[in-house]
Structure formats: structure tokens, C-alpha cells
Amino acid sequence: IYVWYTNKIMKTFETLTWAGKLRRFRKLAEDALRQYDVTVKECHLLSYDTNIIYRVTALNGTRYALRLANGRW
């Protein structure tokens, strides 16, 4: 099961390996962080359960938590 994404074939989330899912979450986190006026120095996965939570450290040292929630809730 595949979907087209920017001229590439992308596997559906359910068919990804754990490492593939982590890469997909990371890309989603990076896309979300671009919406804010923050220059990111580090972004680390903290939790994967009901929500995905990343610890984000800005270049100036300020720390944030980024929560990615299921859009169907």
C-alpha cells in the first residue's frame, strides 16, 4: 500500500518499520517547528505514547516541548 508524495512513492504509516515511523515523526516535527520563530539547535524524542513529544532546544538555549497529537481526536 503506497501513496504518491512529491513525485515519490511513500509507504503508508502502518507498513513502516519502527525506524521508518521515527523518521516520519521527525520530519513532521521539523515541519511543525518551521511554523515558529525558533532556530532549532537540538530536537530529541522524549515520549511516544498517545502523543509524540520532543524536547526542543533553541540556538539561544531556550527549551521547549513539542507535542504532536493524533489529528483524528
pTM of the full predicted structure? Answer: 0.77
Measuring CA to CA, which residue among 24, 69, 72 is closest to residue 51?
Answer: 69
Q: Is the pLDDT of residue 24 over 80?
A: yes
Pairing of strands 52-58, 63-68: antiparallel
What are the cell numbers at 17? Answer: 518499520
Q: Is the pLDDT of residue 5 over 90?
A: no
Mean pLDDT confidence for 19-40: 93
Q: Are 43 and 30 in contact (CB under 8 A)?
A: yes
